[in-house]
Amino acid sequence: MALDFLRARPLLQSGNLTKLFVEELGWEPSRNKLTLRAGEMDFPFAAIAEKKGFTAWLCTSADGSLPDHAARLKLERALTQTSFEHLIVFSTANGAKQSWMWVRREPGKPLSARMHEYDRSQPGDSLLQKLQLLYVSLEEEEAGLSVTEIASRARAAFDIEKVTKAFYRDFDTHRKAFLKFIEGIAAPAAADPHGTSFQFGIKRDFTTGEKGISIYVQNAIVAGAHR
């Protein structure tokens, strides 16, 4: 069983994130609360749900404005002191506007925030596609999960920019190799009245991260070659 978008969508739109995580994603409820400070302002945090030590937090804005980027990173650093593995949802009080943040932390590098902006007027399917990676089935629960596994899923869901860059880097590498491969047969192909066409592609499953290379060689009849 996977995430049911038909049931999950109204929960996202109404801002009922606890029910979304607990009833649809298979997480456990959490009642943890804390207050964090950024600059001269205090921000209330309430745990949405948790799974194996990974916590989803909600930071609600009473005045309808969400913290700016600098304030979010300060809050992220402060939250890490008590909840190392987490994601944060910055939201207006009614849940109409939500900003989901997961932060990539690497030794010796600055924090790199990955944001997903959501508005109630949107269907939210692109966000739900990310959240479905956080779904935990009963079979997975019984088999045993660790906080490392949940953190890995969160990274796969939200670290899209890195995946996209890696995809195009790999594509360019394989493209150049393929061009070298066909250099030796380019001249004979040009002399062939029927011609030879090549199609080269790389496909990646962004859910699993797996990729594959497809090379197609097919004869193509040149227009006007046969009358």
- Tell me, yes or no, whether 185 and 150 share the same domain: no
Q: Given its phi and psi angles, is residue 209 left (phi above 0), alpha (psi -120 to 50 degrees) or beta?
A: left
Per-residue pLDDT tens listing for the chain (227 residues): 689 999 999 999 999 999 999 999 999 999 999 999 998 999 999 999 999 999 999 999 988 899 999 999 999 999 999 999 999 999 999 999 999 999 998 889 888 999 999 999 999 999 999 999 999 999 999 999 999 999 999 999 999 764 444 434 444 555 556 566 666 555 454 445 544 444 444 444 444 444 444 444 444 333 344 44
- Tell me, yes or no, whether 168 and 140 share the same domain: no
- Tell me, yes or no, whether 146 and 90 share the same domain: yes
- Tell me, yes or no, whether 131 and 176 share the same domain: no
Domain housing 169: 162-219
Q: Can you spell out the DSSP letters for 35-69?
A: EEEETTEEEEEEEEEEETTEEEEEEEETTS----H
In a domain, 54, yes or no: yes
Q: What's the residue count for the chain?
A: 227
The total number of structural domains in the chain stands at: 2
Whole-prediction pTM:
0.71
Of the residues 122, 139, 158, the one at which a domain ends: 158
- Tell me, yes or no, whether 89 and 173 share the same domain: no
- Tell me, yes or no, whether 61 and 170 share the same domain: no
